């Protein structure tokens, strides 16, 4: 199944745009406990999410045992929440020959559906992630961190005048999506709703992975108003620490349900606004 269709069905199955980041923090979850910890989160939050997003760094920091845990975690998602899309948050970016090995790691070794990737090396570096319609990449566009403006906001000169680099990346990503299998998304931080609105205008149909809700402090209402597409979809609203460390299974489920509900309320409101 094409990634775009897989994502559409996942949103329908859980009636949710929520994506939960499976980011076991080394200081809170020792390597030997990662799989059990993730199992509890997947069981508790699975029905409330359209996607899970394991962050590669937190598995790598646990060495080979962490790598094993990442593989096992993705298997558990398939078993316990088979509707959910798996985005491996790896932000890879390398020359094509090497990117092919990264794609093999993400899609064959780990069985993820999509990865996050960096645009800095250009189109040929991303192509290995986009060759198969059932897989794809979310390309970094405007990230949620304070230093994201160092380069992403620089004004670049193009054929049609000046624009910030992140907008150029967004427009380029839309071209890549058309050249491949509509399997390109963007990563735009919830902490910058103004920029998110610009990206949504430039890319009306691209899925946008939206980190920065929760621990990073982004405003959910402003971000959804800026980022939802014309169907009240098109976002993967990503929360991690605020969900996975909410407490026991009941608290994790409650927090995931609360976020799904808050997002759906805002989706309905934006649908009403469009209907006016």
Query: Rounded to an integer, what distance in angstroms lies between the CA atom of residue 58 and that of residue 35?
Result: 12
Q: Which one, 154 or 230, has the nearer CB to a second copy?
A: 154
Q: Is 144 in the site for a second copy (CB under 8 A)?
A: yes
* Residue 91 annotated in active site: yes
Q: How many residues does the chain have?
A: 276
Query: Rounded to an integer, what distance in angstroms lies between the CA atom of residue 168 and that of residue 226?
Result: 18
Tell the smallest beta-carbon distance from residue 250 to a second copy (Å): 27
Q: Please pick, among 91, 100, 181, 241, the residue that the annotation labels catalytic.
A: 91
Q: Is 148 in the site for a second copy (CB under 8 A)?
A: yes
CB 186 within 8 A of CB 209: yes
CA dist list (Å): 252 to 47, 131, 233, 246, 266: 12, 36, 24, 5, 21
Please give the size of the binding site for a second copy, defined by CB under 8 A.
59
Task: From 38-46, 145-153, 224-232, 264-272, give the range in contact with a second copy by CB under 8 A.
Answer: 145-153
Which of 5, 120, 194, 250 is close enough to bind a second copy by CB under 8 A?
A: 120
The residues near 137 (Cβ < 8 Å, ≥ 6 apart) are: 114, 115, 116, 117, 126, 129, 130, 183, 184, 185
Q: Is 109 in the site for a second copy (CB under 8 A)?
A: yes
Q: Is 151 in the site for a second copy (CB under 8 A)?
A: yes
Interface ranges with a second copy (CB under 8 A): 23, 26, 55, 57-58, 60-68, 71, 91-96, 98-99, 101-102, 104-105, 108-110, 118-125, 140, 143-152, 154-158, 162, 165, 168-169, 172
């Amino acid at each position: 199944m094409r990634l775009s269709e897989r994502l559409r069905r996942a949103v329908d199955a859980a009636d949710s745009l929520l994506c939960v980041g499976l980011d076991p923090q080394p200081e809170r979850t020792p390597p030997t406990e990662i799989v059990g910890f993730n199992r509890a989160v997947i069981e508790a939050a699975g029905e409330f999410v359209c996607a899970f997003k394991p962050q590669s760094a937190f598995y790598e920091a646990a060495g080979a045992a962490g790598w094993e845990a990442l593989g096992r975690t993705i298997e558990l998602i398939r078993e316990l929440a088979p509707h959910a899309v798996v985005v491996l948050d790896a932000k890879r970016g390398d020359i094509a020959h090497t990117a092919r090995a990264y794609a093999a790691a993400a899609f064959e070794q780990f069985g993820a559906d999509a990865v996050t990737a960096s645009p800095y090396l250009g189109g040929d570096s991303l192509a290995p992630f986009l060759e198969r319609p059932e897989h794809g990449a979310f390309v970094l566009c405007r990230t949620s961190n304070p230093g994201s403006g160092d380069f992403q906001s620089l004004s670049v000169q193009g054929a049609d005048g000046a624009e910030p680099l992140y907008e150029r990346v967004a427009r380029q990503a839309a071209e890549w999506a058309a050249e491949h299998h509509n399997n390109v998304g963007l990563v735009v931080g919830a902490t910058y709703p103004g920029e998110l609105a610009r990206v949504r205008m430039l890319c009306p149909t691209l899925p946008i992975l939206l980190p920065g809700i929760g621990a990073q402090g982004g405003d959910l209402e402003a971000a959804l108003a800026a980022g939802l597409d014309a169907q009240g979809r098109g976002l993967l609203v990503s929360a991690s620490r605020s969900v996975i460390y909410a407490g026991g299974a009941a608290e994790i489920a409650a927090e995931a349900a609360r976020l799904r509900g808050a997002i759906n309320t805002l989706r309905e409101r934006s649908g009403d606004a469009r209907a006016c």
